[in-house]
Amino acid sequence: MSAGRLLVNSGTFAAVTAHGDVHGTRGTATDGLFVRDARHLSRWLLTAGGAAPNAPAPLTLPTPLTLLTSSGDGCVLTPAGTRDNPPAYTVFRRQAVAEGALTEHVRLVSNSGEPSAVELELHVDADFADQFELRADHRVYDKPGARRTAHDTPDGVAFHYRRGESWSSRTTVTASPPPHRTRPADGEGEGTARVLTWRFELPAHGAADLRLTVLAVPHGTGEPSPPGSPGTVRERLEADTGAFAGARPRPRDLTSWEELARACEQGLADLARLRVPTSGPGGEALRVPAAGVPWFLGLFGRDSLLTSLFALPYRPALAADTLLALAAVQGTREDPSRLEQPGRIVHEVRHGELAHFRQVPYGRYYGSVDATPLFLVLLESHASATGDPALARRLEPQARAAVEWMFRDGGLGGNGYLRYTSDAAGGGLVNQNWKDSADAIRFSDGARAEGALAVCEVQGYAYDALVRTARLARAVWGDPRWAGFLEEAAADLRDRFRRDFWMPEHAFPALALDGGDRRVDTLASDAGHLLWSGILSPEEERAVGRRLLRPDFFSGFGIRTLAAGQVPYHPLSYHLGSIWPHDNALIVLGLARRGLAEEARTVAHGLVRAAAAHGWRLPEVMAGYGRDEHPDPVPYPHSSSPQAWAAATPLALLTALRESGGAAGLTRR
């Protein structure tokens, strides 16, 4: 998203220009105010014009304002001026978002020793577009019975959207002081856009204030509380962020590597703001890490689990809330339209109109092959890290159901593997591992893998899940017989995996087995996850770990998703040569755990170097170009930022370096 400023808070975000405006754009530069997967403000344009109050000519027509400066929550604007005729007034805009709301304070300050008048106009509209309509894939969705309306109120305007009898949303805009005039926007015809106009009489060197509040009421929700002024919201948000990011243990107290500490601090601040409200199995209020902005500000199984896992040694409450939230929406029945099966952990949860009407399958979509084993991995990891088995004891039924899904529907039973098939025919995902773009799983000659795919890293997750769940069965649930079964299944899976996936000619595992059990022979970063899960032998781990540090994989900023030089490699693809920080985080954790400390430090330093180049905020993904091609990491054009598992990556690096050999791994080289 290329908007100038991004405001995020409690599951609500606003993407605005550096001027503070919203133009209603679509695609990679989509802007607006978004709540629960819908755009509740699609136009928010401030213009101004002015003249001396006693001048015979009327006020000039409102014109766009010139930007002097823009910061995180505001900007400073003026009308056009010159050295000999400087601007007569300055406009200070401050904006903030709270849950379901946008608040703005506009302050007009006269720069003149003479009285003057200023007319402000605010162009406002709400299109209530679903996020899936706004992406860059140009999809069009029928909306029979849909109707948008707007009506003026004494202090602003109210927008309403209805579709049939089962869907309604609204957005209200209120102003203090109320507008002097409200009219339909010129050229809008039957449209809902409005222009609100105020005339302010400014005394010499005087000032005037305009306070604006936007409240979004998505379908099925109540009206949010008025948020207060931008300053008040900012103070609350900073206090909340500070309480999360500044809690102990603090990364700065655990490392003398200043750059890593700064990346961890930025990551914690981003994670604090990416938390979204949801509920647990008993209706308890939770806050879980959303996947990222702009398109993924909600609960995502894989993303929320890995993010919580990376943050577990430092902020274990994230893991507890994530596990409870996912337990609350765990699959309970067979529903092929959204791939739900009993025991399966959800891939994503959406609240938008298109999901409600089943025009997209993502309202509660289960198209993930790896969220279920990762749920089990995090559950045991949480009990181990905190020393408190209470949550594992509470979620025993959900854990047993998850294991049963892996054997029954996932494909692990009968000496099989966890597999998935394309859901393209149902409008869902072709690939259902973390590399979920349609072209991600390819042979080295470029051919796409077909059929029921068993991707390598997922088998590692399954192995780890079985081993860890066996520990819980033995130590927490008092079921040694089931623990023995799980341990035996894990050992068998490990033996079969090393036989079926290992490619002796490359000393490297295959990316996947296709539907005919042919090895997908591409050299891919997924193999590095196997070091973390422990499914390989020590000799295989050393071979894989060292191979990943060769120049075709390691760019200097991170390990590429695909080794360069292969036919499918493309440095600007989403999964065929780009660099993903979270992918690297799992690899670094694995390198550290398998005794490859120098390799772990090398990758960690590349990632911290990339974080420094991005203002200490790692993006979701970077282009695959190496330091030999460009001295700084090259941005990936469609990367989300902030993004949760990228934000948590520095925490995983800190954990890995602490595990891999003490102070030598914690200081700058």
pLDDT at 135: 83
CA–CA separation, 179 and 176 (whole Å): 8
pLDDT at 390: 98
What is the mean pLDDT of the segment spanning 36-51? 89
- Cross-strand bridge partners of residue 167: 163
Q: CB within 8 A of 475, min separation 6: which ones?
A: 389
pLDDT at 56: 36
pLDDT at 604: 98
Secondary structure in 3-state letters for 56-98: CCCCCCCECCEEEEECCCEEEEECCCCCCCCCCEEEEEEEEEE
pLDDT at 61: 53
Count each helix (H run) and each strand (E run) in the chain, helices first: 16, 25
Residue with the two structure tokens 């029945």 = 333
What is the mean pLDDT of the segment spanning 477-481? 98
The predicted-structure confidence for 530-554, as pLDDT tens digits, reads as follows 999 999 999 999 999 999 999 999 9
What is the mean pLDDT of the segment spanning 62-66? 78
pLDDT at 62: 64
What is the mean pLDDT of the segment spanning 253-259? 96
CA–CA separation, 605 and 607 (whole Å): 5
pLDDT at 28: 77
Cis peptide before 294 (omega within 30 of 0): yes
What is the mean pLDDT of the segment spanning 135-148? 86
Q: Is residue 59 pLDDT above 90, yes or no?
A: no
**Residue 407 and residue 490 in contact, taking contact as beta carbons nearer than 8 Å:** no
Of 125, 104, 123, 121, nearest to 198 by C-alpha is 121
Mean pLDDT, the chain, as a whole number? 94
What is the mean pLDDT of the segment spanning 562-575? 97
What is the mean pLDDT of the segment spanning 313-327? 98
Of 647, 541, 635, 638, nearest to 590 by C-alpha is 541
The two three-digit tokens of residue 431, written as one number? 């690939």
The predicted-structure confidence for 185-223, as pLDDT tens digits, reads as follows 976 567 899 999 999 999 999 999 999 999 999 999 999
Of 484, 508, 474, 329, nearest to 401 by C-alpha is 329
Lowest average pLDDT, out of 45-59, 129-143, 375-389, 626-640, goes to 45-59
CA–CA separation, 57 and 55 (whole Å): 6
pLDDT at 140: 87
Q: Is residue 662 pLDDT above 60, yes or no?
A: no
pLDDT at 183: 94
pLDDT at 187: 63
Q: Is residue 557 pLDDT above 50, yes or no?
A: yes
pLDDT at 49: 79
The two three-digit tokens of residue 143, written as one number? 């909306």
The predicted-structure confidence for 433-451, as pLDDT tens digits, reads as follows 999 999 999 999 999 999 9
Residue with the two structure tokens 């948590």 = 648
Of 453, 471, 432, 398, nearest to 575 by C-alpha is 432
- Strands, E, within 523-588: which ranges? none
Reduced to 3 states (helix: H, G, I; strand: E, B; else coil), residue 288 is strand
Question: What band does 99 get if pLDDT is binned at 50, 70 and 90?
Answer: very high
pLDDT at 294: 85
Q: Is residue 391 pLDDT above 60, yes or no?
A: yes
Distances (CA, A) of 52 to 55, 59, 78, 297, 371: 5, 8, 16, 47, 65
